[in-house]
């Protein structure tokens, strides 16, 4: 039954609203209204599969006591079809009102057209932390010898850095004005006909992200937080990120955490906060992954690191993610891969990334039992070698299943 709605296209189902406690955590009713964006390309296939598993696990764990009232939100191609607009404002309003949502991937044209809907959504809702846990699930094929040694949670800053969209096209009048100003004011030599972009990195933006990473380390009993940066080259942006991180440890976490330089690498019972340069980090996650735990980093580094780490544990088809503002409580869970257009509508791809994002969402809501049974059932299904094409081609004697059949296999293993 739909209830009366202030929205033009969104239909609000019967259910109750999630509220946010003072500490930013979610207070979840037994029948929360949760928004979903199906997504473009393979989005509808993986959403249908994931929703089936999420609903089945909730029923399995809580019977009729708990269920999610799903509310469709529009963005991307479907929004254009339904609302005549790729990014209707009411989608953002509904996420603000209902607090928690989950989304499939959305298409972004390269080098022109509209800005990335994903990036716009994160920035408009100020979802400053992109949280990506990376761990290996038994049975998943991996290109490294010991994928089980990878167990990290990446906190990627989502709102600043070169992703802020402050770019001027080469040859434009605005680019020439900025170039002339930089030459006159700072004596910077910039070639004519250069594209220009800004890399804003603020103390507030850096500290709130690193604060979220340290709080996560405390909550999850993690041993270290590593600040990953290129401060050796970009001193006042990436270098400042590191400096503010160590400052924050002293200002707010002195009783539970300590910076490397203040303990000579021996933190005792405290959480060790250390830093590393981004390029050497990409080598060390391959050679010494056990040394890393929670990672806090800037936007662009975080993008590269997430995909590199995901590859070590089975690829982007399985890596989950969430975009969270730990102050307002707004949270948008999402598949980390794109729309894989060549597989759209084929019921072929791996729904694990979106499904595991749903698992993160269940944990966020406090429905830990349902989250845990899904992870166990997923592992069992991988170990039975009943998998989608991407894993099947890397395994001997695997049974290749369609996306929907794989989801049913997981449900059967609940």
Catalytically annotated residues: 163, 230, 279, 303
Binding of ligand NAD at residue 316 (CB under 6 A)? yes
| Minimum distance, C-beta of residue 405 to ligand NAD, in the bound complex (Å) | 14
Binding of ligand NAD at residue 350 (CB under 6 A)? yes
Candidate list 337, 355, 377, 411; residue touching ligand NAD; CB under 6 A: 337
| Minimum distance, C-beta of residue 24 to ligand NAD, in the bound complex (Å) | 24
Site for ligand NAD in 4-33 (CB under 6 A): none
Binding of ligand NAD at residue 317 (CB under 6 A)? yes
C-alpha count within 13 angstroms, C-beta hemisphere, residue 311: 10
Binding of ligand NAD at residue 214 (CB under 6 A)? no
- What SS3 state is found at 277? strand
- Measured from the CB atom, the residue of 297 and 350 that comes closer to ligand NAD is 350
Residue nearest to ligand NAD (CB): 338
Nearest to 66 by CA among 98, 99, 32: 32
How far is Cα 217 from Cα 256, in angstroms, rounded to an integer? 10
Candidate list 68, 94, 106, 214; residue touching ligand NAD; CB under 6 A: 106
Cβ atoms of 154 and 325 within 8 Å: the answer is no
How far is Cα 313 from Cα 315, in angstroms, rounded to an integer? 6
Binding of ligand NAD at residue 339 (CB under 6 A)? yes
Binding of ligand NAD at residue 314 (CB under 6 A)? no
Site for ligand NAD in 157-196 (CB under 6 A): none
Candidate list 32, 88, 105, 245; residue touching ligand NAD; CB under 6 A: 105
- What SS3 state is found at 318? coil
* Per-residue exposure over 156-166, b if at least 16 CB sit within 10 Å of its own CB, e if not: bbbbbbbbbee
Binding of ligand NAD at residue 122 (CB under 6 A)? no
Whose tokens are 């094409």? That residue is 389
| Minimum distance, C-beta of residue 329 to ligand NAD, in the bound complex (Å) | 21
- What SS3 state is found at 122? helix
Candidate list 157, 275, 293, 390; residue touching ligand NAD; CB under 6 A: 390
Question: How many helices, marked H, and strands, marked E, lie in the chain?
Answer: 13, 19
- What SS3 state is found at 201? coil
Cβ atoms of 26 and 17 within 8 Å: the answer is no
| Minimum distance, C-beta of residue 49 to ligand NAD, in the bound complex (Å) | 10
Length of the chain: 414
- Using CB under 6 A, list all residues that contact ligand NAD: 42, 46, 105-108, 118, 316-317, 334, 337-340, 342, 349-350, 353, 390
């Amino acid at each position: 039954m739909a209830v009366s709605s202030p929205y033009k296209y969104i239909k609000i189902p019967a259910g109750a609203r999630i509220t946010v406690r003072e500490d930013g955590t979610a207070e979840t009713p037994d029948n929360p209204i949760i928004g979903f964006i199906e997504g473009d390309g393979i989005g509808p296939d993986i959403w249908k599969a994931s929703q089936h598993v999420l609903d089945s696990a909730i029923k399995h764990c809580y019977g009729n006591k708990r269920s999610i009232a799903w509310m469709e939100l529009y963005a991307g191609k479907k929004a254009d079809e339904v609302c005549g607009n790729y990014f209707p404002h009411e989608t953002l309003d509904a996420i603000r009102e209902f607090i928690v949502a989950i989304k499939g991937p959305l298409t972004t044209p390269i080098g022109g057209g509209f800005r990335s809907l994903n990036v716009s959504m994160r920035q408009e809702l100020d979802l400053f932390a992109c949280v990506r846990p990376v761990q290996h699930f038994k049975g998943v094929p991996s290109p490294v010898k010991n994928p089980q040694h990878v167990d990290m949670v990446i906190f990627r800053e989502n709102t600043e850095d070169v992703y802020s969209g402050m770019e001027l096209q080469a040859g434009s009048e605005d680019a020439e004005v900025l170039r002339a100003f930089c030459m006159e004011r700072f004596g910077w030599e910039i070639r004519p006909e250069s594209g220009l972009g800004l890399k804003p990195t603020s103390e507030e933006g850096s500290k709130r992200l690193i604060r979220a990473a340290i709080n996560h380390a405390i909550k999850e009993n993690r041993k270290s937080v590593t600040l990953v940066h290129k401060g050796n080259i970009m001193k006042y942006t990436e270098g400042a990120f590191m400096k503010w991180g160590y400052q924050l440890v002293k200002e707010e976490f002195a009783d539970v955490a300590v910076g490397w330089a203040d303990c000579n690498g021996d933190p005792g019972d405290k959480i060790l906060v250390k830093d590393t340069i981004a390029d050497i980090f990409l080598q060390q996650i391959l050679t010494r992954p056990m040394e890393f735990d929670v990672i806090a980093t800037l936007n662009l580094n975080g993008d590269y690191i997430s995909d590199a780490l995901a590859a070590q544990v089975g690829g982007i088809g399985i890596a989950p993610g969430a975009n969270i503002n730990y102050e307002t409580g707004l949270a948008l869970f999402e598949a980390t891969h794109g729309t894989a257009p060549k597989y759209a509508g084929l019921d072929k791809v791996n729904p694990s990334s979106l499904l595991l994002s749903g698992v993160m969402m269940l944990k966020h809501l406090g429905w830990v039992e349902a989250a845990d049974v899904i992870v166990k059932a997923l592992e069992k299904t991988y170990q039975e070698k009943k998998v989608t094409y991407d894993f099947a081609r890397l395994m001997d004697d695997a049974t290749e299943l369609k996306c929907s059949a794989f989801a049913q296999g997981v449900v059967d293993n609940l």
